[in-house]
Amino acid sequence: MDFVPFKPSDALSAVGRWAGSINNQSKAGRVPPCALVAIVATETGGQNIFEIGVPQGPGAGAGLCQITDGVEWSNPDLPTFYGGGRQWGLMDPSSNLYVASRWFLAPAIDECLVLRERLPDAMNRWSPEILFYAFASYNLGFGGVRDALLENDNPDRFTSDSYATRAYASYKQYLAESHAAGAKLG
């Protein structure tokens, strides 16, 4: 996995404006920055979806990374997540990015790395890239990914609109842009 910092080609774009927070929170969560930005791009395009009419409450995703699992909705305007002995406000972009990286993406990567040791042929059949499976897990849940692979099926078939394929394509795009921006600076 490539941990190059996210350097957007357009720092003023909906996703690019979050580059500083994405880089900081991916480092704190120990995930590749371009993988975290791929989730933001795939989930929300870098904007608060509640401002465009998506209803708030149980079952809805919260914040830039559309966190749904473990969200406390007692105050619909301030959904929270409990982790690491503290409460995280999911409408705060930095907190949302940290929760997504620390409690969802990092464990998905770790679980998929272990799964690759158990099911290498099944995983190589659909993609050799561990992030493809981590993205599928982010959307579907690790159990869904594992179960699909045990059935010799592509887990992305069970995600929302081929989520893993779309997120992985975004990852590759942001990775290429970030490397190109780094080369220009060097």
Tens of pLDDT, residues 98-114: 999 999 999 999 999 99
* 60 has pLDDT over 90: no
Contact 97, 21 (CB under 8 A): yes
At residue 37, the pLDDT reads 98
Q: What is the rounded distance in angstroms from the CA atom of residue 61 to the CA atom of residue 74?
A: 14
Q: How many CB atoms lie within 10 A of CB 105?
A: 27
At residue 15, the pLDDT reads 95
What's this model's pTM, rounded to 2 decimal places?
Answer: 0.94
Where is 101: in which H helix or E strand? none
Tokens of 149: 């692979």
What are the C-alpha distances in Å from 3 to residues 71, 95, 122, 171? Answer: 28, 20, 26, 12
What domains can you pick out in the chain, each with its CATH number?
A: 16-185 (1.10.530.10)
